[in-house]
Structure 1
Amino acid sequence: MAGPRREALPTAQPFAGCRRINEEKSMLALLGLLLVVWVVCIVVGIAVKGLFWLLIIGAVLFVGTAAIGFVKREALGRGKR
């Protein structure tokens, strides 16, 4: 009869801790990059939306100024030749 059975000890993997640290740093770097991308998207979105509203306000003011100029021109009699 054989004696009690011994299980083999797990072999130590060199630099296993370093690999885990590198994976964590890579994950944090990826998350940081994604955060920067989202912030850029937010800023661009706000700028585009702001420019859109600036366009609308400018168009309304242009049409209003043109209408006032046309009415005053008619009132001063300069519209008839």
Structure 2
Amino acid sequence: MTYKTPDGAWGIEGVSLLSWRIYGAAKKLCDMESLCEDVYRAKDAELTLDALQELVDKGLGGRFIDLRRALKGVEL
């Protein structure tokens, strides 16, 4: 839903981010999409778990679930 330019600018096509009411939500959406891309691009289980932890933390607004502890004993 969001776009990014090579110079770091980002936005949502057709949406003005000048309103602070939607800026925060749009920024979180942009961050979440970037984190999903990081998970997709992760090269191994450890990097995938790190990226997933960051995605979960961002989505929940803090570290409420420790994925390494939750998956202890699970072979990745």
Under TM normalisation by the shorter chain, which class is it? 0.3 to 0.5
**Normalised by the size of structure 1, how large is the TM-score?**
0.31
Which structure is richer in relative contact order (CA contacts within 8 A, separation 6 or more)?
A: 2
- TM-score (norm. length: structure 2): 0.32
Structure with the bigger percentage of strand:
2
Q: Which has the larger radius of gyration?
A: 1
